[in-house]
Homo-oligomer: A and B are copies of this chain.
Amino acid sequence: MKPKKTGHIHSASAEKIITKRKKAFQAKDLIQKIANGNTTALSQAITLIESTAVKHQVVAQEILKGCLPLSGNSVRIGITGVPGVGKSTFIEALGTHCINNGKKLAVLAIDPSSSISHGSILGDKTRMEQLTTNTNAFIRPSAAGNSLGGVARKTREAIILCEAAGYDVIFIETVGVGQSETAVHNMTDFFLLLKLAGAGDELQGIKRGIVEMADALIINKADGENVPAAKKAQNAFAKALHLFPPKASNWQPQVALCSALENQGIKNIWELIENYLNTVKSNQFFKENRKSQNKYWLQTSVENALKDDFYRNIKVQDQLPKLLNDLNAGKITAFQAAQELLKKAK
């Protein structure tokens, strides 16, 4: 069945969905349909999750509770790389390979910055022609929202729903230049960094710290006259990654070449991911990592709520600019400024 492309949060359309049925019945009904792999129900549930209306959230949280016991049985793969690196083509190629091997694939994106452009990633679905028309693929553009915390939560919840609907491979795409990579790293089992061949050896534009997160560094567009430069880069990066301290997973990050456009090297990358999964499932890291990710998101949600609450306080907003000035003028220490702010907030 062709997935329904609901796009971004339309409060009006969510409204329409919800008034159709009674709430309690609706949640139960959607859970049932999602469990049966119904993509229309899956899309509707994600729309409810993305809605900021309280009544939609009530149903959404009910649906999540019902879907949770059905979730968890997937491989969650984070894919990052700067614009122009060929992420869509890569996702199309790797995704099609997965499906041809009997998998069901869901593709989500996390991109808080897109709240302005309304979805800069996964927006152009023409680049994923094969996947969009494949009944074993479910593609959902990035959730809109102003805060990374909010968008990350929606994405985490969408993962649960997709898993409950039977998708056993989940790609989560991000653009590699902002704040969202840590979030994606903290909600995936495997983190893949895409890089260009023939564009010098440096990771131009990519945010520092991302390389250390990566489980695999994939050099894309390794075709035609790019091949020698790509091979040279592969060699250099493989050596460099060996110099870094070992990861908690005990997995040695790999560097691989591919040409997503020419569909070369894709099979090899999937095998690399399977090797990783064998390693971390046998050494228990896979399970432990998901546990600590759960704890991370619990704590992050709490802390974000505490911070939001604090900085929304009008007295704090009043004092903060003055205190920052005093701080930079050397009239007050950072700790004294913090104490002042905390006093004001009470």
Contacts and interface: CB of A to CB of B under 8 A. Distances in A.
Interface string A77-110: 0000000000000000000000000000000000
A181 to B, nearest CB: 12
A338 interface: yes
Contacts of A331: 65, 68-69
Secondary structure dominating the interface of A: helix
Which of the listed residues A160, A335, A336 has the most CB atoms from chain B within 10 Å of its own CB? A335
A242 interface: yes
Contact of A156 (B207, B209, B333): B333
Interface string A56-76: 000001001100110110000
A203 B244 contact: yes
Contact of A243 (B153, B156, B202): B202
A61 to B, nearest CB: 6
Given A236-B243, A243-B240, A335-B157, A69 B303 contact: no
Contacts of A297: 334-335, 338
Contacts of A248: 208
Nearest to A207: B245
A281 interface: no
Interface in A207-238: 207-212, 236-237
Contact of A203 (B160, B245, B296, B337): B245
A341 B244 contact: no
Interface in A100-137: none
B204 A64 contact: no
A322 interface: no
Interface string A157-189: 100100000000000000000000000000000
Contacts of A302: 310, 338, 341-342
A341 to B, nearest CB: 6
A312 interface: no
A206 interface: yes
Given A303-B307, A307-B306, A341-B302, A333 B157 contact: yes
Given A68-B332, A212-B212, A336-B64, A245 B324 contact: no
Given A243-B240, A246-B202, A294 B65 contact: no
Contacts of A19: none
Which of the listed residues A201, A301, A331 has the most CB atoms from chain B within 10 Å of its own CB? A301
Nearest to A241: B240
Nearest to A316: B302
A211 B244 contact: yes
A12 interface: no
13 contacts: A68-B333, A156-B334, A156-B335, A160-B333, A211-B245, A236-B243, A239-B240, A240-B240, A240-B243, A294-B327, A294-B334, A301-B334, A306-B307
Interface of A: 61, 64-65, 68-69, 71-72, 153, 156-157, 160, 201-212, 236-237, 239-240, 242-248, 291, 294-299, 301-303, 305-307, 310, 323-324, 327-328, 330-339, 341-342
Given A201-B242, A209-B209, A302-B310, 5 more contacts: A156-B333, A156-B334, A201-B243, A237-B243, A306-B306
10 interchain residue pairs of minimum CB distance: A301-B338, A297-B334, A240-B240, A298-B334, A306-B306, A302-B338, A203-B245, A208-B245, A294-B327, A298-B337
